[in-house]
């Protein structure tokens, strides 16, 4: 049996108290869309400049234990010729890599998708390890539509892919982050979101056990349990915390060392408030922190706008958002300080 002590050490380092993960793993298409939204030229050069601004921001190592990269940014370098993974590692931030190749329709099941990329994964993992990656991420997507979606067929198919992915990553000496995301968009209630999230997590972890995935060397990246963005009654942070932790206690094995939250389309401050409410519920069997993308990067992009003169100010915004989420992960967020 493989000795996974090195995996446990990486997982512990990623889950150190007071720090979280920056999910800077948007595809080129998504990143170009974000650049366009703030009036920045949609070019590889501007995307590289933006990433360099993030990764070289002074002080982020105080609040970030890891950064999830995309394939192109794993290969990119700073203007000084230093590879992005090396920039992060030199600051004590562990480089990670998104390894799924996006979703494709699940044949025979309209409105549902499975995640692509398993066939070429072993070869890509070996290359990413050599480039400095020490953890990976794979996303599965579940859409709620009334009482019909997601189907058990969709959940089962994605659970299989997540388990095979996790086993391959551990064999490649990296920590897998599994991200079964229950999409927030729609009209579903908090109760329906809780029901679906519980089903997804329970089936996913049952499949992990079937494939002999070492749960101590794995991290869960999860949605919070939220009523949809189209539901008429907003969910209070205390309700989010109750539903989310209740779901985890009925679904996530205690061997799993940690859970990191995706923001999932929540507004910037709302994702921080909800994280703080969860942390205020006290110690849990798992370490709990954040792995945000848009909830951190959106105000940074809006401040930067592609202008060199705005870099320092944008980096301060990045540091502030990381700090607020770090405090929230410890139940110490102060809304009055988050102007």
pLDDT, tens digit (0-9, with 9 covering 90-100), for 72-83: 999 999 999 999
pLDDT value at position 136? 98
The active-site residue out of 179, 181, 273, 297 is 179
The active-site residue out of 19, 98, 137, 221 is 221
- CA dihedral (199, 201, 203, 208) in degrees, to 10, reads 180
Determine which of 21-25, 49-53, 154-158, 233-237 has the lowest per-residue pLDDT on average.
233-237
Domain spanning 5-332: CATH superfamily: Aldolase class I (3.20.20.70)
Q: 199: which strand partners? A: none
**What's the rounded Cα separation, in Å, for the pair 36 and 243?**
37
Q: Measuring CA to CA, how many Å separate 195 from each of 7, 202, 221?
A: 32, 11, 18
Verify whether residue 194 is a known catalytic residue: no
How sure is the predictor about 339, in pLDDT bands with cuts at 50, 70 and 90?
Answer: confident
* CA 305, chain centre distance (Å): 24
* Structural element, H or E, at residue 67: strand 64-69
CB-based contact 257:216 (threshold 8 Å): yes
**Mean pLDDT of the chain, nearest integer:** 97
pLDDT value at position 3? 84
Q: 175: which strand partners? A: 135
Q: Measuring CA to CA, how many Å separate 190 from each of 225, 233, 257?
A: 7, 10, 26
* Residue where the block lists tokens 């190592």: 61
* Structural element, H or E, at residue 302: helix 294-304
pLDDT value at position 181? 98
pLDDT value at position 222? 98
pTM comes to 0.97
Contacts of 167 (CB under 8 A, 6+ apart): 211, 212, 213
Verify whether residue 179 is a known catalytic residue: yes
Which pair of structure tokens corresponds to residue 140? 């599965």
* Residue where the block lists tokens 């870099």: 311
Q: Over pLDDT 90: what percentage of the chain? A: 98
């Amino acid at each position: 049996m493989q000795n996974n002590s090195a995996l446990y050490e990486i997982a512990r380092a990623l889950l150190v108290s007071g720090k979280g993960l920056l999910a800077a793993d948007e595809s080129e298409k998504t990143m170009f869309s974000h650049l366009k939204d703030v009036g920045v030229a949609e070019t590889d050069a501007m995307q590289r400049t933006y990433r360099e601004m993030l990764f070289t921001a002074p002080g982020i190592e105080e609040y970030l234990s890891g950064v999830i990269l995309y394939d192109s940014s794993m290969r990119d370098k700073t203007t000084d010729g230093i590879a992005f993974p090396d920039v992060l590692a030199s600051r004590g931030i562990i480089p990670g890599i998104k390894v799924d190749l996006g979703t494709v329709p699940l044949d025979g099941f309209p409105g549902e998708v499975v995640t692509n990329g398993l066939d070429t994964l072993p070869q890509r993992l070996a290359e990413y390890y050599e480039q400095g990656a020490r953890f990976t991420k794979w996303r599965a997507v579940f859409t709620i539509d009334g009482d019909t979606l997601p189907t058990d067929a969709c959940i089962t198919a994605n659970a299989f892919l997540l388990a095979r992915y996790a086993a391959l990553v551990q064999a490649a000496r990296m920590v897998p982050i599994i991200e079964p995301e229950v999409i927030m968009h729609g009209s579903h209630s908090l109760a329906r979101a809780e029901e679906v999230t519980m089903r997804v997590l329970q089936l996913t972890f049952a499949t992990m056990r079937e494939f002999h995935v070492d749960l101590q060397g794995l991290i869960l990246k999860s949605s919070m349990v939220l009523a949809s963005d189209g539901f008429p009654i907003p969910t209070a942070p205390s309700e989010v915390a109750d539903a989310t932790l209740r779901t985890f206690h009925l679904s996530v094995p205690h061997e799993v060392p940690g859970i990191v939250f995706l923001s999932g389309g929540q507004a910037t401050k709302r994702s921080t408030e909800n994280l703080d409410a969860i942390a205020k519920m006290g110690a849990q069997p798992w370490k709990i922190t954040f792995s945000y993308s848009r909830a951190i990067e959106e105000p940074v992009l809006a401040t930067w706008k592609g202008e060199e003169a705005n870099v320092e100010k944008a980096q301060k915004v990045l540091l502030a958002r990381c700090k607020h989420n770090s405090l929230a992960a410890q139940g110490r967020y102060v809304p009055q300080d988050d102007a």
